[in-house]
Amino acid sequence: MEDTLHRLLSTIIGDGRLEVAYPSGRRESYGRGPLESAVRFTDRRAMARVAHDPTLGVGEMYMDGRLIVEHGSIYDFLSVTKRNASPRAATPGAIGHHLWRAAGASVRRRAGLSRARRNIAHHYDLDERLFRLFLDPDLNYSCAYFEHDGQDLDDAQLAKQRHIAGKLLSRPGGRAIDLGCGWGGMGLYLAEVAQQSVTGVTLSAEQARVARTRARARGANACFLHRDYRHAAGQYDHVVSVGVLEHVGLPQMQTFFDKVAALLDKKGTAVIHSMGRTKPAPYSQPFGEKYIFPGGYIPALSEVIPAAERAGLLVKDVEILPLHYARTCRLWRERFLANRDAVLDLYDERFLRMWEIYLAASEASFRHDRIFVFHLLLARHQDRVPVRRGWLEPEKERLQTLEAARPGIG
């Protein structure tokens, strides 16, 4: 197996240099240029696990302390391997795992209400204190919007909220619903800055609790419910959904957009913020599916837009946000690792390494794979959105002026 992995790495690594220390004591260098990453396998089984099933094995062996980074970080290792990866160079074992996962994907993607609740609770019902260690004060757990290179994470998350709210073209006194409201950050922005009456729904009991507590403490005109989006009711001037479509799943994609259409007033607007990819995938990333986001699937635009159109919604604008999430994940990971001791007060070392490689792999994927974040601006009527571009920046400037009167975030 050592020779198999050596031949594989010799074939694929060309851009950048990687060093590997094998269990036998053998050390090999792959690629060219300055050393980016050096790793060591502690035992033969760890090496075989990575060779047979790299998409899952790398993460598991790093979590278990059997794949040790000796130079650089786990991100550097993932970056150099992702940049050079080629499906033509896969081992027979990796090909077999790929075919098996593709064959079972349709079963795993079925997301009834009880399974959806379990999937969401697995991640989002973790201790709130964990998320506060690396998120901004408003607890935005989605891609930030960097308006310039020097912008810090907290300001970029506020810019994301402003960017989304600006697209809604809201006016004071309107009604808005946030499908998948998280800990309430976007909903509170709409209530306090855009002056909307806000309803938020989330399947996470912990998120709903935190969001309600924050709204009460701030006296915000916002109500947050522990409820599935499928059970949301009423008519709203604006519908917003940030980072939820990835959890909806393909079998429920039409259900989601039918619900958006049912909730949206005839003169309303909706903004959907989601991860996306350039083409459909046969299955979700195995490590994320097993350990981080069970039931998650990053959809292609070709899987999303037809569902919105069938629901009777007009696609008024599509914006692709390239590389913003790569930078967001890097800043999250830096904060997470800077609070290592606080993480270990809550969870064990294996959990810490699991989250470190999750954040590192997310950054590497958004930097090197064909995935991105997109915004869909939807409406029921053609005249709801201005016919010429240029309207968004003045709207954002209006909101930024209103932000000055907002109470401190917490």
The pLDDT value recorded for residue 99 is 43
The pLDDT value recorded for residue 407 is 80
Tokens 């809201």 correspond to 170
Average pLDDT over residues 208-223: 97
Sequence spans of domains, the chain: 2-107, 113-403
| 3-class secondary structure, 387 | coil
Among residues 223, 313, 199, 314, the alpha carbon closest in space to that of 262 is found at 313
Amino acid at 343: V
Give 241's pLDDT tier (boundaries 50, 70, 90). very high
pLDDT tens, 66-95?
999 999 999 999 999 999 986 555 555 454
pTM exceeding 0.85? yes
The pLDDT value recorded for residue 179 is 99
197-202 and 222-226 strand pairing: parallel
165 and 378 Cβ atoms separated by less than 8 Å: no
- pLDDT at 102 > cutoff 50: no
264-277 and 27-32 strand pairing: unpaired
Give 111's pLDDT tier (boundaries 50, 70, 90). low
200 and 207 Cβ atoms separated by less than 8 Å: no
Architecture in CATH for domain 2-107:
2-Layer Sandwich (3.30)
CATH number assigned to the domain covering 113-403 = 3.40.50.150
pLDDT tens, 29-69?
999 999 999 999 999 999 999 999 999 999 999 999 999 99
The pLDDT value recorded for residue 90 is 53
- Residue 330: CA atoms inside 13 Å, Cβ hemisphere, count? 15
pLDDT tens, 314-356?
999 999 999 999 999 999 999 999 999 999 999 999 999 999 9
User: To the nearest whole percent, how much of the chain has pLDDT over 70?
Assistant: 92
The pLDDT value recorded for residue 197 is 99
